[in-house]
Each structure stands twice: as C-alpha cells, then as structure tokens.
Amino acid sequence: MAVDTLPRRAAASPFERAVSLSQVNWEIAAYLAIVALSVLAHLWGLGQMAMHHDESIHAWSSWRFYTGAGSFNCWGGVTAPTYCYDPVYHGPMLYMLTLASYFLFGDGDAQARLPMAVAGIGMVASTWWLRPYLGRRGALIAAALLAFSPSLLYFTRFARHDGLMVLWEIWMFIGALRWLDSGRSRWLYLTAAAVALAMGTHELYYILFFIFGVFLGMRLLAESRFARYLHWGLIGVFALCLTLMVLNPPLPIGKGLYLGEKAFLVASALAMAWLCQGLWDQRPILTERLLTTWREDRHSIWVALGILAGIYLVEYTTFFAYPRGAIDGLYAGLAYWLGSQQEYARGDQPWFYYLMQLPLYEPLAVLSGIGAVVAMIASVVRRLIVQRRTTNDGRRTAADEDLAEEESGDGSQESVIKTPSPDSRLLTPDSRLPTPDSRLPTPWPLAPLLLAFWFFCAVIFFSWAGEKMPWLLVHMALPGNLLAAWALGKLLQMADQRLGQAVDAQPSALSPQPSALILAPLGTLLMLVAIGVALWRLGLPATGQGAQSNLLQGLVPLIIAGSLIYGLLTLAGRAGGRAVLALCGLTVAGLIGAYTLRATWMAVYEHPDTPVELLVYTQTAPDVPRYVADIRELAVNLTRNSRTAQDATGGLSMPVFVDSGDENGDGSLAWPLQWYLRDFQHLVWTKKDTFQKSPGPSTFDVTMPDGSTALAPVVLLYKPHVTSEVRQALEQGYVQPYGETGVFNWWFPEGQKCSPNDPGYKRFYYSSWTSEAILTAAPTEDGGRGGCGRDISAEVYGPLAPIIWPFQRENWDTLYKFLIYRDLPQVMTPGAREMEVWLRKDLAGGVGEASASGGTADLRLVAQTLATMPAGSSGPTGAAVDGQGNLYVSDTGTHQIHVFNASGELTRSFGGLGGELGKLYEPRGMAVDGQGNLYVADTWNARIVKYGPDGKPITSWGGGDQDLGDGRKATITDGDKAKNEANPLGFFGPRGVAVDSAGNVYIADTGNKRIVVTDDQGTYRYQWGYAGSELGSFNEPTGVAVDAQGNVYVADTWNGRVQVFAPDGSGHVGPIPIITWQVSGWKANTYDDPSIAASPDGTVYVSVPSRQQVLAANLRGDVLLRWGGAGDDLASLNNPSGMAVAPDGSLWVVDRSSARALRFVLPQVQAAP
C-alpha cells in the first residue's frame, strides 16, 4: 500500500513571523518605559562632567591597553607587555569592557563611562526577574528606584568599578533566589557567572562573600544535626566577641588591624543572621536543594564551576597572555587592602560617614531598612508569644490565629505570581520536607530577609572599612532600594485588598464609601504641611514679643496637625487600619520619592562636578576640560604646518610643560591631565625641584617640533609650587590667560578633624570617648589616619553629636537650605587644589583672556609713596583718606585701624578684637566724610562703627542675631526681599561703606546681597538689591563708592560686574542701574575682597586681586589704564584690595599680601574713540 507523505512545511524564520502586540500588557509597557527612561538617564550628557581623578586613571590605563602601549605594572613589582592585575587599581573587568567600548566607539570621556552606564541599564532591566519575590508592583517599583536613585545613577555614569559591581551583585541575588526556588540550572549558571565577574571587578567581593556566607552558614547550621545547639553556640560566640572587643588585641597580620573590631563585625552579622533565621521557613530548604542538585543534576554543578573558573582565568590572565595573574587574583587584593590600605584609610572619614550619605540620597532605603528590622524583631517576639501559648494550652487559640493572619498578610513570596516551575518540587505538598508547625505564624519570605540582612551588614562593614568613599554608597543603596520596593509593593497590596473589600461591602455609617479612603493621603499630606509650618515658625530665632508671636503661630498648625491625626485614626477605625496605614505610608513614600528625584537631578545633571554634593570627592573642576580644549586648539594652530604620519591633523607635537610634583608625586597634575593630554607626543613632566632651582629665562625651555629650543608654549603648574622666583621667571615670557589662579580639583567642605570649633562634619570626628593617646598621636603627612599631635579633649563633642545635630532647632534652617537647594552655609568653602596656566606672550590673544592680562606692558606705573604696615600686621584690606591726606588702613587680621600721614609714616593705631564700642572684628571697608569722621565696616560684628577725627568711637549701628562661631555675628536673610525689608539693619558680613556729601552712608551688606542707606547717625533711610544676577540684584557686593555727582558704584563681585546707580531726583538712589560692566577676574566663590573707588571727576578704580591688578575706567566701563603685576618693587601689586582717592587726585592702593599701601599718581588718559 503506497503512502504519500506530505512535505513538512518549513518553519518560518524570525523575520517572517508576524508581530503580535496581544501579549503586551500595561506591566510590560511600564517596564519598557522605565528601561527606556533609564537608557536616556544613563546616556544623556555622559561625557559632560569633568573626569574625576580616579576615572582618569582607569580611562588612561584602558586606553594604553587598547593601543597596546605595553609596560604595565603588575602586582609584586613585575612589568608586563599587556594589561596585568594590580590591586591598587582594582580588577581587570573594567579595563576589558572599556577597551571594547573604545574599540567600538573610539576613545573619550563618554566612552570610558559607557560600560558602567550599560551596567546600570542592565541592573534596572534585571528587576524583571524579581517579580516572583517582590510582586508585580514591587518589581516595577524596584526598576524605578534603581533607575533614578541618586547614588546609583551618579556612579553608573562614573568610570569606576562600583558601577559594574552593582550589576553583578543583583545577578548574584537573583540567581541564588531563583535557583533555590526552582532548581533550574540556568539560575545556577547566572550565579556562577556573576560571582566570577565580581571577583574580576573589585576586591570588595571579599566583603560581599562574607556577608552572604554568614547568612548561608547560619541557615546550614540551623538545618543540620547541630541545630539544637545553635542558640547556646551563638551565646558562646557572642561572649567571645565581647571579650575581644573589650581587650581589642592587634592582629599579627596586616597593618592597623585589631581583633576587637573584627569581633564586632562578626557579632553584628551573626546577630542579624540569627534574627533572619528565626523568621524564615523552618523546613530544611537549603540543604534539600543542595542534596537534590547533587544527586539528580550534578552535571549543572560542574558546568557552573567551569563557568566560574573560565571567566576568572580569562580575566586575570588577560586572555591567557599573563598566566601569573591567575594566582595573583586569589590573594593579592586581600593582601594589599589589609596590608596597607585599611590603616591608610583614604579620605580619613568619620564612622558616621554613611549615616550622613544614606538619609541624604537614599531616604527610602533607610526608612525601609529600619522598618524591616523593627518588623522582624516584632515578628520574633510574636512568634515567641505564640510558642509559649501553644505550649501552655496545647492548642491554637483564636487570638493566635488572628495574630498570625495580621503578621503574615498573604505571607507567601509567590502570592502575586503563582506560576510554579515544573522543577519546583521543594514547594509541592508531596515534598519530602517536613511539614511546619501549623500553629506558628506564617514564615517570612526569603527575599526581604536576605535584603534586610544584606543592607544592614553592608552599612556596618563599609562603615568599618578604612577607605570610606562616596562611591561605596551604591553597595548599600542597591539592597536598600530593593527592600524599599518590596515594602512599597506590600503597602500597595494592602491598600488594594481593602479597597476591593470596601467596593464589595454595603456602605454604612460605620463602614464608609471606598472613596472615603482618599482622605487618608490627603489628610497625611495636610498633616505633614502643618507640622512643617509649625517647626518652621518655632525654629525662627527671635526674642521678646517676636518669640511669643512665633510660638503662637507655631501652635496653630500643631493644633491642626493634631486634628488631622485624630481624623486619620477615626478613618482607620471605620475603613480598616491596615488600608489607612498603607495609604499614609504610600503618601509619605511619594513625597520622599519626589525629594529623591530632585536630589538625583541636582547631583547627576545640575552640578555633578561641583562640590556642593557629598557625592563629590576630589573632583576635577569644570575649568580643566576648558583649559585642555583651548590648549588643543592652540596646538593645532601652532603646529598645523608640522604634520607627520603620527600627527596627521597637527597639534599633537606641541610641547606642554607640566608640573609632576615632588619626589613622592605630591602636587602632581598628572590626573586627569595625563588622560586629557594622552595624544600629545611631547609632554614635559617636570619635578618641582627642577624648575624651582635657580629659575631663570631658560627654565621653561623645551625642544620644539622643528628641533629648535624655545620657551614652552604652555606651562601648567601646581599653584603652591609657584614661588616668587618662579613667578618672576615666568612673567618675563608668559601671561596668564585665565587669571592667576584656577581650580584643579576640589571637594566638599568637610572641615578639620582636629578643629572641632570650625564648620564641617569632621569636627565630630573625635568625641569625648576618644582616648588621649589617639588625640595626641602625631598627624600623618600622607592624608591617612593619624592624631592631632595635641590634646583637644576639651574641644570635642559627645559621641552622638553628629546624630543629634539634625534634630537641634538651631540647625533646621541650614539643613533645609542644603536639602532643598544644596546651599552651603556662608562659613563653609569647598576645599580645593589650585593650578596656574601660563601662556607664552607671543601666543597671547589666541586663548582665554590673554589680552587682558597684566604685566605685559613695556612701561609700568611706579608708586610715589610707600606706607609699610607695622610689625605683626595681618591682612590689611580697606583704605580711606581724609581731607588732610591722612591714610587709614583697616588691618583685618589684627582687628585694628592704622593711620598714616601723607608721607606714608605711621602716626597711630586704634581698635583691637572685641564687640564693645571701639573694638572691631575683622574690619574691612572704610570711608571719611567732610568733617573727618571715619566710618568702618566692622565685618563680623555685623555693624558700622563711626569714629571722630581724633580716632575716638562715637556710635555704631547694625548687628547680627546669630552666632556663626568664634563670636562672629550675622543676621542672615539670604538676600530675600521680604527678609531684607524685615531686617533693615541686620547685616551679614558687611565689607564696603561709602559716604556722600549729604552725609548719606551707603553700606555694602555683602552676605545679604544689598545696599543699605542710613544717615550719619545710623538712622535707617532705605535700601535696594536682593540675591540674583538680574539688573539691580547682587551676589556678594564687596565694595561701594560715590562720586561727586552722587552716582553710586557697587562692586558686584560674584556676578563679575560693576553696577552704576544714579540719583532718582527724590533724594534716593534709583534701584535700577544706569550702566553695568564686566570685570574680568572677578569670580564667584572667591574671598579675596576686591574693592572699588571713585574720584570726583568720575574715574572709577577697580582692584582685581586674582590678577594682581588695578584698573581705571570711566563711567561706561571703558578701561583707561591697567597696572600692577606680581612682584616686590614699587610697580608691583600682590592681591591688591582697598583703594582710596587722595585730595590731590592720587590713588592709594592697599597691597594686601605685601603688607603695605602704595600711592600712585596717575597720568591723564581717556578712552579711545
């Protein structure tokens, strides 16, 4: 019988299959949207931020690997022709992935950060695998939290290993959970690959393995035959740890390691693991899974080990080109970090470092972590109560059943997605595992227990580690945010269940409509607003009637808040406490989420390389890439006719003279300039001893591309290395196109650990618990751990001072401004390392502002009279001249006024430190009226002091209602219009004062961004100005002057301009300037006190301390004359500050750094037509 066989239809190729959107639901669409936003957030502007010191090292090393440069330094002092592992710069995976990025997309800042950005996107997408454990909603929330977490987003756009580690960590977490749940080999393979990748990325995997190892070890012990002895064994271990903590003997290995601190870590981890163990399912789940896999799927174990070993060998042997790396990778990292880095303690941060960072950037993680631990402890207590009841009664009571239901909710980690895998035999009823005691409350699911354990152990362990850096925050943020996602998912589920029940139920007087539950979030929001208003009013500083008014205005919102709380409790009693609690919690979480999103925007996009963020540490300043871009343009213009095969476009052959620091590399500009100038073929790296030794015209000679010898076109030096001799040598052939000083890198103003009275969080570094031996230990010179070299025990705070600080009312205003706006207090200035850029004179005009630099003219203006400050003088600043030609100079450092005659001879001094009349606190600007009375801006007494012609004080006006420390007084209005009006004579660091012919006194209230006008007795008349950059607003006005026509000139320093105001005909000066003009060299965030003066004929004089210059201009700002330049002769100026016009038209200039004043007779000049 013949059988015809029909030909089998060929399977359609993937490109021929129809696209069906029927399986795309809103959950998938939401995931795709979050991942798409994560891609945008990670890649947008990836190369805009200046390369950090560490980033530049990693980018440059990867570039050398990519270009095959050779001569890599390896562990053990070995050199290899290709990349090899050195624990100083962490594991090889970053360099391999960055090489791939360079290969695909070329080398650059964005390409160096691309692997970390891709890892961050992968981390967000990986939350899809967590749906069985966090629930559908929880996993979606986790994706959003990980995508827009400030620390995670910032450091997954940052060329450091931590951006990769977070991806491997979440893969380890997912793989382990899903393998334990299903037994499928693919999850075991994912875990093995993640472990190998983590080992090849960063040495902190030792800490992670210890954390996870303690958790698993505790579980294995609990499932073993020794479980009955576990509690007693733990008690013994805790007793041993406590003994070691008290004795704290040193470890025989490593440096700076003690058994006491290790015992604390072990005890903390064991205590947390014991707590988790008591809440997890008591069946032997882990042991059974291991035994089942070994008996029935042993092949998968060998494959997983092969994956781990294969990836590890490829990483550490550099594709088998450096076999020794396979051994180095096993121990070198641990040996290096415990052998030296733990004691060195890079950054030397205090123990509470991450307790500041976490609430600031990851508040949801902190609240979820604390809430989880509280709930865990409560669950253990409830479990003990139930066990005792069942023991006594022998049966489960109805109350116990209610208690179990309340605790567990739905309980199961599979409550949302109930699609067990075919291999999930461990969860089926016919499993060989023993059945749990049904009388006990339902166990907690594994995922939140492991996340809580991971989060708190990470906080404790990284706080213990010697090197505490902001990028390590991500290893706490990851488990913390996942735990927050689980908690928020539970709250949503609780609210959903109650809303569903309310919809099905018949409304009654005692059971309101479901829509009534909307009152819960609304009431919570209003309650929080009321509490905030109350705290704001109660926190305002005031005395007398003002304090009573604040109290009353604070009590009213407190009463409102109390009423709202009562309303919420009533609603909870009628609609269900769990639902109302869930809705209130979700409302608070939403507000915190909004703050977190703002914190992300500010840190990642608004000022990622400006040290107003705690995430910013030793960050390259934004000006450095600008310098490099200008140097590249200059190089191309200079060498475009000297192109070679190696330099086809020209520019790379131009020599650049760069400071390489001292013999230890201190002060070197290598990072990031080595990366930014990587293509330049002739970088002349020079030690400071070389150019500081007998500097002269030939010190900066280099070999040019044509073989000739000439001055280097560009010289880049670390500012502290520029001695007066070096500067003189440079000024012969160079100009400074960007001014005298540029910021090289900077950092958040931490304060000094040995100066508890100074601002900054490091004032709490030591406490009253710190031993005298530690305080008096010699300080280290390399920035690591060390004492103060003196006993400061009388100055330090209590051990809990940094924790209490945010809750002290006097700090609320400062805390609010920093949290919302990242405004730092006036007394806190970011720390910085400065550099100088010098450009050869014949190239000036091609870059920066070279044409405006001083010291280039052949003819120099020479002073006719010299007034030398008396011995002990410190920081002379302000100047004024009376009708007899006598010169008054305010000596800011000694808090005195020195008086000189017209010949420059000192005649008398008066003043001195103090707050009483006649005493001064850092006086600055001064003015003299027609009767010879002297007006002094008494800066930190926040007042103006009036002296008679005989030098005796007459009166003073103004004051401050806050103590900024060290007796400094100020009234801080932040330049707000309303606050300025409310505090007409409340000054904040006034620095300038002027008086006109009618006796009106003009006061530059610098910190409050305004000009205040009084009469000559201090009676307030009017004011104008507020904080801002628009016309009529100010940013740190440091000087004020008046000409014979009544025009008022204001040195609007941080806006970099002069504003000129004219009388408006009403007896006042108009608040809108008639003219403004820029002053090159005046910059924001500088404190060099530039000044302004005006002569009767309308000539305006402006000092520019950053450029060692004084310029003369007319009313319109046309520069008529510019003179000065660093040096010690009578034509030189060093940080010129205050100025005053003498009766004969000559100009006195206070030469602050030289502790002198110089009188110049100016030539007749006019602006060019």
- pLDDT tens column, 652-696: 889 999 999 988 888 999 999 999 999 998 999 999 999 998 888
CA distance 774 to 256: 13
Whether residue 357 is predicted with pLDDT greater than 70 in this model: the reply is yes
- Compute the average pLDDT of residues 401-406: 46
CA distance 177 to 413: 11
Q: Which residues pair with 747 in a beta bridge?
A: 831
Cβ count near 575 (within 10 Å)? 24
Portion of the chain with pLDDT greater than 90, in percent: 59
Q: What pLDDT score was predicted for residue 396?
A: 46
Q: What pLDDT score was predicted for residue 272?
A: 94
**Class of domain 860-1160 as given by CATH:** mainly beta
Q: Which of 5-14, 594-603, 808-817 has the highest mean pLDDT?
A: 594-603
Q: What pLDDT score was predicted for residue 319?
A: 94
Query: What pLDDT digit, counting tens, does each position of 462-477 carry?
Result: 998 888 999 999 999 9
Query: What pLDDT digit, counting tens, does each position of 688-733 carry?
Result: 999 998 888 789 999 988 788 889 999 999 999 999 899 989 988 8
Whether residue 1118 is predicted with pLDDT greater than 90 in this model: the reply is no
Q: What pLDDT score was predicted for residue 858?
A: 43
Whether residue 546 is predicted with pLDDT greater than 70 in this model: the reply is no
Task: For CA atoms 54, 56, 61, 63, give the dihedral sign.
Answer: positive
Three-state secondary structure string covering 157-222: CCCCCHHHHHHHHHHHHHHHHHHHHHCCHHHHHHHHHHHHHHHCCCCCHHHHHHHHHHHHHHHHHH
Whether residue 491 is predicted with pLDDT greater than 60 in this model: the reply is yes
- Longest alpha-carbon distance in the chain: 137
Query: What pLDDT digit, counting tens, does each position of 299-339 carry?
Result: 999 999 999 999 999 999 999 999 999 999 998 988 887 76
Across 1079-1127, where does the E strand assignment appear? 1092-1094, 1100-1104, 1109-1113, 1119-1124
CA distance 116 to 131: 25
pLDDT grade, residue 254 (50/70/90)? low
453-457, 554-558, 906-910, 1005-1009: least confident range: 554-558
Distance of CA 204 to the CA centre of its chain: 22
Q: What pLDDT score was predicted for residue 846?
A: 43
Whether residue 913 is predicted with pLDDT greater than 50 in this model: the reply is yes
Query: What pLDDT digit, counting tens, does each position of 625-638 carry?
Result: 999 999 988 888 77
Please report where in the chains the tokens 């500088």 appear, as a residue. 1086
pLDDT grade, residue 553 (50/70/90)? confident
Task: For CA atoms 514, 516, 521, 522, give the dihedral sign.
Answer: positive
pLDDT grade, residue 418 (50/70/90)? very low
- Compute the average pLDDT of residues 1054-1060: 93
Copy the structure tokens of residue 471. 């990028």
- Compute the average pLDDT of residues 987-1015: 96
Quick one: angle between helices 185-199 and 298-316, nearest 10?
20
Question: DSSP 3-state helix, strand, coil percentages of the chain (rounded to 5)?
Answer: 45, 15, 40
Q: What pLDDT score was predicted for residue 392?
A: 63
Whether residue 264 is predicted with pLDDT greater than 80 in this model: the reply is yes
Whether residue 979 is predicted with pLDDT greater than 90 in this model: the reply is yes
Contacting residues for 856 by C-beta, under 8 A, at least 6 apart: 735, 841, 844
Copy the structure tokens of residue 1150. 């206070």
CA distances from 543 to 3, 919, 933 (A): 108, 25, 34
Q: Give the predicted TM-score (pTM) of the model.
A: 0.75
List the domain boundaries for the chain. Answer: 26-416+434-490, 505-606, 621-745+835-850, 749-829, 860-1160
Q: What pLDDT score was predicted for residue 534?
A: 84
121-125, 187-191, 705-709, 1090-1094: least confident range: 705-709
Copy the structure tokens of residue 259. 């058994």
pLDDT grade, residue 6 (50/70/90)? low
Task: Classify burial at 809, counting beta carbons within 10 Å of its beta carbon; exposed 0-12, middle 13-18, buried 19 or more.
Answer: exposed
Q: Name the phi and psi angles at 355, rounded to 5.
A: -75, -15
Copy the structure tokens of residue 87. 């624990």
Query: What pLDDT digit, counting tens, does each position of 100-111 carry?
Result: 999 999 999 999
Portion of the chain with pLDDT greater than 70, in percent: 87
Per the prediction, the chain carries an average pLDDT of 87
pLDDT grade, residue 404 (50/70/90)? very low
CA distance 951 to 932: 10
- Taking a C-beta distance cutoff of 8 angstroms, is the pair 111, 102 a contact? yes
Q: Which amino acid belongs to residue 690?
A: T
Which has more confidence, 294 or 1084? 294
Q: Which of 7-21, 408-422, 754-768 has the highest mean pLDDT?
A: 754-768
Q: Which residues pair with 879 in a beta bridge?
A: 889
pLDDT grade, residue 341 (50/70/90)? low
